[in-house]
Structure 1
């Protein structure tokens, strides 16, 4: 590490120590991040990824407990013949008996001396260090939310490149806790057996719009079916399957204008389509965005910053207890293992 870099990095350590009310020498030992600093860090993580700004990231006191809920989960209007019985009030926030449990997630990062030497010439040296750590934490949370299926004692990034073994994400929670809200797979005892939702000529559905409409009618609770906040979360590939045929052909100007309008609106089955990074390519999730949450437990963010000259790098060890939560399963429909193609030949053979 160059002398100028060392000076800038020492200033970063002094600032980090001051914010967390510890001595600089204590940073290399595991310390608990100050509550105000933890809240600020969580806000920065949320703001660093567009999708996270659309969902809830909420602090909780206990490691496990009841879900916070969507706020209003049932109807309250009714009538009562008070000559025969008393009026009985309804708690609209009452949830089914579903609990969360925050599990430790490690966010350990490395910054090489060479990288720090490059950054040291910039005025925002400390901000660059923070952003490098914060941005990756944000993206990893999204990846776990859509791909996590279990929590291994020791995760294996080589075997699970989408962090499938770090924690159970939103989709897995729906598979296990609300299998009646899933189309295209069955889950029993934590084991998921894939099926197939065939879309196209000769398939079960003519197009993706029909898939979404049927999923809303069959899998979403009647209380939420007409909710204006319902959206379709999907990946880039599924959006391309829907809109690429419109874009990939020669058109008159008037037709092109109409196609551009349709593509810009990005709707499926009458609902707004929301593209999310790391979402499974052959699936879609119908829900309200505020139905997806990440709970982080207060006073559980631990950190240690170690200067390791043996490896010419700075090592940042960080962890926090967190849980991926679907607030109300009645407002969720997962359709996966979607196959798009021409199935007319197979359908004809089956009918023969």
Structure 2
């Protein structure tokens, strides 16, 4: 890197060391608790979907789920002549547990790229934000695609980070299979004539009764599946008045009377009905480790980050999952 860039980088490394009360940021260190929380806040703010779910610090690497943001009925009456009043737990307090897994979020920036960025006054913020934004993207990938936590991950075989951690959808498949409709056919002659009918039926059949009318329910899916529903409407409405009405409809997409939410990295042929507050990421306080290394052998600066984290569904009763949805293939079959 250029000498001017070197000066900027040294100042950046010194600032990180000072913030974390360590002598040298190029030696592996535990991130200071206040900095750890600020980093988590920035990660959450870096992706729209993450802003709406719970990202919570927990003390233990494993334990019982927190159950935050989940409501279940508590109203009752007891004949106290014969029985004691018995309070009820709020949320899914059925002994379900979480287990945080160490996850590495390691990145690098080439000298060439750093030389370009060094011209800007926000050089340090650019370096920081590059890491933050990728962690946010990776968390979405893992949450929607993760199926296992391998000792040695393989991004070539699992490009959607399927082997980094167990995500929300896999937890539903494994621990609440009664909430899953797998391989349904949606279209003329199928199990459901359209996606609206499938979502409406799943909401009323798979969710616990007290969640079915919850105003916070959304239908989360991949953007392509949500777009498929409206593609025919776009093609069929050419008149100016129809186009104006369609703009309003497209701005308020719904599936089965629920708000439709297209989220990056969600499986293209799946759909999850739940409350956003039902999904959580737990990170273990004090588990974040970091090291910044100048690697001249590769002409780059490497930033090693790790934290113990778990992807948690707070209450399976607030979930209905349509997995591996089949659509007409145009040749009389389903795909």
TM-score by length of 2: 0.96
Partner of 2:236: 249
The Cα offsets for residues 230-250 of structure 1, whole Å up to 9 and x where unpaired, read as 000011111111011111234
After TM superposition, where is structure 1 displaced by more than 6 Å over at least 4 residues in a row? none
Aligned residues of 1:73 and 1:95 also touching (Cα < 8 A): no
Partner of 1:57: 55
Instruction: Write out aligned runs for 1:260-279 (5 A).
Output: 260-279=247-266
Partner of 1:320: 307
Partner of 2:246: 259
| CA–CA separation in structure 2 for the residues paired with 1:113 and 1:342 | 49
2:236 aligns to what SS in structure 1? coil
Q: CA deviation at 1:336?
A: 1.3
Q: CA deviation at 1:252?
A: 2.3
Partner of 1:89: 87
| CA–CA separation in structure 2 for the residues paired with 1:35 and 1:165 | 28
Instruction: Write out aligned runs for 1:108-257 (5 A).
Output: 108-184=106-182, 196-257=183-244
| CA–CA separation in structure 1 for the residues paired with 2:323 and 2:85 | 44
| CA–CA separation in structure 2 for the residues paired with 1:50 and 1:60 | 23
Aligned residues: 334
Where does the alignment leave 5 or more consecutive residues of structure 1 unmatched? 185-195, 348-352
Q: CA deviation at 1:275?
A: 1.2
Where does the alignment leave 5 or more consecutive residues of structure 2 unmatched? none
Partner of 2:66: 68
Aligned residues of 1:59 and 1:295 also touching (Cα < 8 A): yes
The Cα offsets for residues 96-148 of structure 1, whole Å up to 9 and x where unpaired, read as 11000100000111111101000000000000000111100000000000000
Q: CA deviation at 1:72?
A: 4.6
2:326 aligns to what SS in structure 1? strand
Partner of 1:15: 15
The Cα offsets for residues 162-217 of structure 1, whole Å up to 9 and x where unpaired, read as 00000000000000010001111xxxxxxxxxxx2111111110100001011111
Aligned residues of 1:198 and 1:205 also touching (Cα < 8 A): yes
Change (3 A) 1:158 1:206: same
1:121 aligns to what SS in structure 2? coil
| CA–CA separation in structure 1 for the residues paired with 2:49 and 2:85 | 43
